Structure 1
Amino acid sequence: MRQFTAVVNPTAGGSTGAAALLKVARVLREAGAELETEYSRSLAHAQELARAAGERGRVVLAVGGDGIAGGIGGALSGTGTALGLVPAGRGNDFARALGLPEEPEALAEVLLHNPARPVDTIEVESAAHGRVVVLGSVYAGVDALANRHANRSRLLRGAASYYAGGLRAVTTWRPASYRVTVDGELHIHRGYTVVAANSAYYGSGRMIAPGARVDDGLLDVVLIRHAPRRLFFALMNELSAGTHVERPQVQVLRGKEIRIEADREVPYGADGEVDAVLPVTARVLPGALRVVR
């Protein structure tokens, strides 16, 4: 029987990550699994708790949103420790990419019985922010600005905060000129954003890279070119189904290492947590993390 250590973000989703753990914990304990709970004071503290639990051979449960999932997943990348997710945030996009069930009882059954299988992680490196490892995606442009607005919103939660943040960002955005280098090949791009995606989803269920797979050893690089604002709003609506990639303003590349630069100060983000400015390099770490799924 597995032994679990749950690392909880107490403020996930604007409420409490502990509430999301309760029903899952009941099923785990009724099945005979050992579960201990640790409450994090910060992302760095959550990473310390996760590493310590992993060194004791325990399955680490990241309880919260994409920030704590990516932070803990990054800390455990390359260690061999198994990670489980208990989604309790605004977006939960990596859990969505893994196809994890939303019902607590079904999720507990996955955590108890499914194997820990390898997934890719992303090493993110920049002079502005140093080196971190994340799970979902790195995005540079209007979406990073939208995420910044969403994180600072006190009135809206969940998908509503992302949508409102997106509207605010688009109304003030002016196209940037990017230099995007994918596996050594340079692409000149002018537009709204560049996304290096390990997961298909970002921004609370928006399917930015419908072809992305978490275990294929590649990053899908999505470039959205300059277009009239009304067309960009149409593109935003199409993100729910991933049909935006069929438009001529959208280009999708694939590669193992991506360098993103711009002609002015452009923000970038990663898994909803990193908030810095270009340039940045993202490289895939194939099969670096074991995740129960």
Structure 2
Amino acid sequence: MRQFTAVVNPTAGGATAAAALLRVARPLREAGAGLETEYSRSLDHARDLARRAGERGRVVLAVGGDGMAGGIGGALSGTGTPLGLVPAGRGNDFARALGLPAEPAALAAILLRAEPRPVDTIEVTSAVHDRAVVLGSVYAGVDALANHHANRSRLLRGTASYYAGALRAVTTWRTTRYRVTVDGQEHAFAGYTVVAANSGYYGSDRHIAPAARVDDGLLEVVMIHHAPRRLFFALMNELGTGAHVHRPQVRVVRGRQVRIEADRPVPYGADGEVEAAVPVTARVLPGALRVLY
């Protein structure tokens, strides 16, 4: 029977992370699985806890949102340690991309019985990162600014915080000239944002890259060109279904390595955490992580 170490972000979604773990813990223990719990003080601490648990041969559970999943998944990338997710954040976008159930008993059944499957990860390098590894996506521009505002929101949660953050970001945004190099081919344009996506979802259920797959060894690179603000807001509404990719202002290409540069220091983020400013490089690491789903 599997032995689990749950690494919990105690601040994810208020008090919901601990509550989410409790709901899954009961069916795990009733099935005879071992479960120990570690509470993280920071994302770096969570990574350390996950690595140490993996070295002891335990399955690591990331309990929290996309930042927690990406941080722990990145720490375990290339180690062979299996990762399970207990979604408890505002977005839970990587769990959504994997098709994980929300019902605790169904999730526990996957954690107990599913065979670990290889999933791609993303290596991120920039002025502030010699090398970091994340799971879902790397994004630069207005969406990173929107996510920054959402993370600082105290009144709104979940999708509402992202939409409020996006409204604030877009209304103050000025057109930026990007240079995006995908596997050596350069794409230059003026616009809003660039997303290098491993997972199809980001920003709390926004289907930014409908064709993205977590196990195909490629990144979907979504580039949103300049458009009037009213059209941009219409495009944002289409993110729920992925219909935005059919607009002429949106271009999607695929590749293994993406370099994002701009004519000014626009912010970039990864897996829900806003890191710094471009330039930034994202490179896919095919099948580097073993995940239960």
Q: Residues of 2 paired with 1:275 and 1:142: CA distance?
A: 14
1:238 equivalent in structure 2: 238
The aligned counterpart of 1:203 is 203
Could you say which residue in structure 2 is the equivalent of 1:167?
A: 167
Q: Deviations over 1:19-38 (max 9, x none)?
A: 11011000000000011111
Question: C-alpha deviations, 1:156-203, integer Å up to 9, x for none?
Answer: 111110010000000000111011000001111210000000000000
1:53 aligns with 2:53: yes
- 8 Å Cα contact 1:218-1:255 kept in structure 2: yes
Greater mean alpha carbon deviation, residues 165-174 or residues 9-18? 9-18
Q: SS state of the match for residue 130, structure 1?
A: coil
Q: Determine the C-alpha separation between the residues in 2 that align with 1:202 and 1:175.
A: 22
Q: TM-score, normalised by structure 2?
A: 0.99
Shift of 1:278: 0.4
- Residue-by-residue CA offset, 1:102-122 (whole Å, 9 max, x unaligned): 011100001011110000000
Tell me, in whole angstroms, the C-alpha distance in 1 between the residues paired with 2:15 and 2:58.
27
Q: Is the 8 A contact 2:197 2:219 kept in 1?
A: yes
Secondary structure of 1:115's counterpart equals coil
CA distance in 2, matches of 1:261, 1:11: 33
Which residue of 2 is the match for residue 220 of structure 1? 220
Quote the Cα distance in structure 2 between the aligned partners of 1:23 and 1:142: 37
What residue identity is the alignment partner of 1:75? A
- For 1:55 and 1:189, locate their aligned partners in 2 and report how far apart those are by CA, in whole Å: 46
Instruction: Tell me which residue corresponds to 2:66.
Output: 66
Q: Does 1:272 align with 2:272?
A: yes
Unaligned runs of 5+ in 1: none
Match of 2:183 in 1: 183
Partner residue, 2:145: 145
Find the aligned partners of 2:84 and 2:160 in 1 and give their Cα distance: 27
State the one-letter code of the partner of 2:221. V
CA contact (8 A) 2:180 2:261 kept: yes
SS state of the match for residue 287, structure 2? strand
Q: Give me the whole-angstrom Cα distance separating, in 2, the residues matched to 1:20 and 1:128.
A: 33
Q: Give the CA deviation at 1:16.
A: 3.7
Q: Distance in 2 between matches of 1:176 and 1:212?
A: 25
State the distance in 2 between where 1:131 and 1:268 align: 15
For 2:190 and 2:56, locate their aligned partners in 1 and report how far apart those are by CA, in whole Å.
Answer: 49
* Cross-structure match for 2:194: 194
Instruction: Output one character per residue of 1:77-132: Cα deviation in whole Å (capped at 9) or x when no partner.
Output: 00000000000000000000000000111000010111100000000000134321
For 1:128 and 1:47, the matched residues in 2 are separated by: 18
Which residue is equivalent to 2:76? Answer: 76
Which whole-Å CA distance do the structure 2 matches of 1:98 and 1:161 have between them?
23
CA distance in 1, matches of 2:19, 2:138: 29
What is the aligned partner in structure 2 of residue 9 from structure 1?
9
Residues 132-167 of structure 1 deviation map (CA, whole Å, 9 limit, x = unaligned): 100000000000000000001111111110010000
CA contact (8 A) 1:120 1:135 kept: yes
Match of 1:39 in 2: 39
Deviations 1:225-268, CA, capped at 9 Å, x for gaps: 00000000000000000000010100000000000000011110
| Conservation of the 8 A alpha-carbon contact between 2:148 and 2:274 | no
1:211 deviation in Å?
0.3
Q: Could you tell me how far apart the structure 1 residues matched to 2:225 and 2:166 are?
A: 16
Counterpart of 2:81 in structure 1: which amino acid?
Answer: T
Pairwise mapping of residues 102-141 of structure 1 onto structure 2 (< 5 A)?
102-141=102-141
- CA separation in 2, counterparts of 1:141 and 1:40? 30
Q: Offset at 1:220?
A: 0.2
TM-score normalised by length of structure 1 = 0.99
Letter in structure 1 aligned against 2:225: R
Q: Distance in 1 between matches of 2:181 and 2:43?
A: 31
Q: 1:14 touches 1:157 (CA, 8 Å); kept in 2?
A: no
Give me the identity figure in percent: 81
Could you say what secondary structure the match of 1:146 adopts? helix
CA contact (8 A) 2:267 2:274 kept: no
Number of corresponding residues: 293
